Every structure is written in structure tokens, then in C-alpha cells.
Amino acid sequence: MTSIKLAAPAKVNLFLKVLNKRKDGYHNILTVFERISLADTISISKAPAGIAVKCDRFVTRRPEDNIAYKAAELIIRREGIKSGVRIEIKKAVPIGAGLGGGSSDAAAVLMGMNKLFGLGLSRDRLIGLSAVLGADVPFFMLDTPFAIGRSKGDKVERISSGKRLWHLIIYPGFRLSTKGVYEAFEAIPKSLTTLYDDDKIMAHLTDTSDSSELESMLYNDLEEIAASKKKIIGKIIERLAYSLNKKAIVTGSGPSVFCLYATRKEADRARRKLFRSMPAAGRQGWQIFVTDTKIN
């Protein structure tokens, strides 16, 4: 085998609660990840030496700052690989959108190089390597549709669920700094409201759970901050509530917003209704996706 191609799926956070700040500057969180079918395509080929990363969209000024490059460099160094790789990324997931595209690309590079070079690394070993790269990367190593994330989000546990959800996702066309959103969150008074614990979250994701109950679980502590930084985020959430009668939340630290549907037909109909309710000028720069849970 001299080359391999993998899909690198995006994610949404169905639930995100910030618990406290850590001594290392990060935050402990409780989150529910869902892997979705919107995905980048990663092609990896063996090369005599070095690491080359080519992407069809601008990501970083220096190739070595791309997280996919860092993933390749990490596994080459840790596993003593003597040759190099060429990595080609075809982006479908917006960059800096809160959808985990970069983290998923990094996970795909680790998994792809493990197969390409016949390293035989265990899933636990790969998860350990992935945690060095970023807090969301371990989730994408699990190969599961749903998981609970703890600590920085890097301590992940599968949620056994056969549920398939459909989503209307709106990316408003700009990036938000994850670090900046968390720093701003620290500056606001914290609510004492008790929210869902692990058992309640898992119950909502069982096959027999009611869709309306699952929608009621949607929550993100960072939403208020994200909306305060870019007013359009709050306006999108309000528009989805007004036009579609749907609860919508920010995923990750933003800026993407999503809501849930039981079927593709419902999600497609909602997309058309949203388009009719807003002039094109009001949606300038937006990317709107209908996507579902990635089961396998």
C-alpha cells in the first residue's frame, strides 16, 4: 500500500457545560459530541522524505502550522518512521466554524498513517497521541456517532445509541477565537442553575427517547459569549426560532448554529423555508448544510 484515502467527518456539540478553569489555562467541560456526515477528504501517500500538506483552501500561512502536518510529524517522530508523507486535504467542513474540521483532519492523518505504514497501533495508543494535538481530536479517534467528553473534552466515552438525527447547520462565514470566547466566559457571572447530569444526557440519546425531549437537552454555556462577539449569531438563533419554531444552539465555541430534525425531508423543508424568509443579501457569506449523524 502506497496511499490511502479517508473521510474526516465534522461534529456538533449537543450539550456543552463549562465546569471550571484548570491550572494549565484550559477549562474542564462536560460535553456531548455527535459525529455528522459533513466531511473533509484526506489523501495520504508515502514519500521518500519530509512532510507536505496541500489543501484546496487557505488554512495557515505556514504548512507546519496546519494540525494535519502536526499529526504527521508527531506520529513520524514517536514511531520512528523513516520515510515521509504527502497529505492532500479537500475541505467540505468550514474552517474555524466550531465543527471540528481541523481536529477531524488530524485524527484521519493518525489513523491513515497507522494503516499506511502498518504500525499496528492500538486505538488507545492512537487516542493518547491525538490528545497531544487538541482537545477534540480524541473524539474522532473513537469511531462512534456519540460520545461524552470530559476534562478538556479529551477524555471521551462512547454513548451506545442507534439514534440518527438530521441537522440544519448555518455557518455565518467568519471565525471566532476559541481562546477568546473562553476568556470572555470567565469574566461573566456564572449561573447556579443545575443542568443535565450524565445519566439524563445518555437517556435522551437512547433509541426510545422522544425527539422533543432530545431537543430540550440542547445547551451550550458559550453561546451567550459567542453571540455577544458577533450579533449575527444571536439573530440567526432568533430567526430559526421565529421562522422555523425550532430551538437552535451554537456548536463548540461558535460561530456555527444548528437545530435538529427527525428526517431529511423535514430538514430540507426547513432549509427552503429559511431561504424564503430571508433575502439573499441577509444571508451573504453563509454556508447552510443539511446533514445527519454519521453512523459508520
Cell 497529505 sits on residue:
87
Residue 231: active-site member: no
Which amino acid is it at 296? N
Give the whole-angstrom CA distance, residue 153 versus residue 139: 8
Cβ contacts of residue 171 below 8 Å, gap of 6+?
94, 97, 99, 255, 256, 286, 287, 288, 289
**Rounded distance, CA 22 to CA 134, Å?**
16
Cα separation, 187 vs 182, in Å, equals 9
Catalytic one of 11, 91, 246, 294: 11
CB 26 within 8 A of CB 152: yes
Helix (H) / strand (E) containing 40: strand 27-47
Q: Which of 105, 136, 154, 221 is catalytic?
A: 136
133's grid cell: 494535538
Helices and strands, counts by H and E, the chain = 10, 11
SS3 21: strand
C-alpha to C-alpha distance for 143 and 93, rounded to whole angstroms? 18
- Residue 11 annotated as catalytic: yes
Smallest Cα–Cα separation from 163: which of 289, 36, 271, 268? 36
Contact 94, 101 (CB under 8 A): yes
Query: Which DSSP category does 254 fall into?
Result: S
Q: Which residues are the active-site residues?
A: 11, 136
